[in-house]
Amino acid sequence: MSATHDVKRYPGLGLLTTLFFVYLYAPLAVIVIYSFNANRIAGVWTEFSLQWYSAAIENQALMNALKTSLTVAAIATTVATLIALSAALAIIRGKNVRFRKLSETIVNLPLLLPEIVLAVATLILFSLIGVQNGLLKLVIAHSAFCTPFAFLPIRARLQGMSLDLEEASADLYADRWTTFRRVTLPLIFPGVFSGAMLAFLISMDDFITSNMLSSGGTTTLPIYIFSLIRSGTSPELNAIATLLILASLLLATAALFMAARGTRDHA
């Protein structure tokens, strides 16, 4: 009702909003459409075809890069979510936490610094301590910068959750672990899931840090895609991008569904 009133009050608002979304999503639509183009010249449409999806799936280098990205993202998401959950519980639910705001700022520090700075600092650190394994370097670095992305939804969920049920559980002589497992975690799970999905997408999407830390055999998907762009635009690249868009939409939909379900259950 309020949005409709604003559109009527400002006649150009609806058109401006439409133009904004067209500007934002038109390039994605072009990529999706031309991923079904049979012509090898990406910008010239001839006929509908799925050959570039088949070529992408049969590309062993691409599959290896995807496997590396999924492995790193899965491990980093797990580590980052556990750290973020522990930090959120300590900061939000801790009774005698000193420097609460400072602690929260430290957790969110990777969000405040340019990624290139973090990438260079991480590269120097690994050089000083002698870490050579490319996969290990990627997992540690991704876990570090994904933690604040997982922390924010969990913190928001904890802040919006009443203490009544946890206090009732304690009154019924449940220990802290039982209260967390049976009361707190189910209530904040939508936030945990959203944070984990956000961390996973950030890890899968990262280029700067991965480009600096990757070594032979640990090429991630963004680095491989960048190598394709440097050699010229290919219809296969459109197919890869379309599959990534579809995967992102599915994860975002799942996260929104969990958040909506959690809000409904909590209400």
Q: Are residues 123 and 212 in the same domain?
A: yes
Q: Are residues 9 and 113 in the same domain?
A: no
Q: Are residues 26 and 92 in the same domain?
A: no
Contacts of residue 131, defined as CB under 8 A and 6 or more positions apart, other chains included, come to 137, 140
Domain span at 79: 60-266
What is this structure's pTM?
Answer: 0.81
Q: Is residue 73 part of a domain?
A: yes
Q: How far apart are CA 81 and CA 90, in angstroms?
A: 14
Q: HEC string of 226-239?
A: HHHHHCCCCHHHHH
HSE-up of residue 54 (Cα within 13 Å, Cβ side): 5
Q: Are residues 70 and 161 in the same domain?
A: yes
- Give me the mean pLDDT over the 97-125 stretch: 86
Q: Is residue 47 part of a domain?
A: no
Q: What is the CATH number of the domain that holds 183?
A: 1.10.3720.10
Q: Is residue 51 part of a domain?
A: no
Q: Are residues 238 and 119 in the same domain?
A: yes
pLDDT-derived band at 8, boundaries 50, 70, 90 = low
- Give me the mean pLDDT over the 112-130 stretch: 89
HSE-up of residue 188 (Cα within 13 Å, Cβ side): 34
Q: How far apart are CA 138 and CA 157, in angstroms?
A: 29
Q: How far apart are CA 29 and CA 21, in angstroms?
A: 12
What are the residues facing 48 on neighbouring strands?
37
Q: What is the pLDDT of residues 45-86, one digit of tens each?
A: 788 888 888 888 888 888 898 899 999 999 999 999 999 999
Question: Quick one: pLDDT at residue 199?
Answer: 92
Q: Is residue 146 part of a domain?
A: yes
Structure tokens at 233: 């635009």
Q: Are residues 25 and 87 in the same domain?
A: no
Q: Are residues 159 and 262 in the same domain?
A: yes
Q: How far apart are CA 166 and CA 117, in angstroms?
A: 41
Question: Quick one: pLDDT at residue 99?
Answer: 77
Q: Is residue 197 part of a domain?
A: yes
Phi-psi region for residue 217, left (φ > 0), alpha (ψ -120 to 50) or beta? Answer: left
Highest mean pLDDT among 150-159, 160-169, 224-233: 150-159
Q: Are residues 65 and 126 in the same domain?
A: yes
Q: Are residues 218 and 126 in the same domain?
A: yes
- Total tally of structural domains belonging to the chain: 2
Structure tokens at 118: 């973090």
Q: Are residues 107 and 7 in the same domain?
A: no
Q: Is residue 191 part of a domain?
A: yes
Q: 35-44, 151-160, 211-220 — which is least confidently predicted? A: 35-44
Q: Is residue 40 part of a domain?
A: no
263 has a pLDDT exceeding 70 = no
163 has a pLDDT exceeding 60 = yes
Q: Are residues 156 and 87 in the same domain?
A: yes
Does residue 71 sit in helix, strand or coil?
helix
Q: Are residues 169 and 250 in the same domain?
A: yes
- Give me the mean pLDDT over the 235-242 stretch: 83
Q: Is residue 52 part of a domain?
A: no
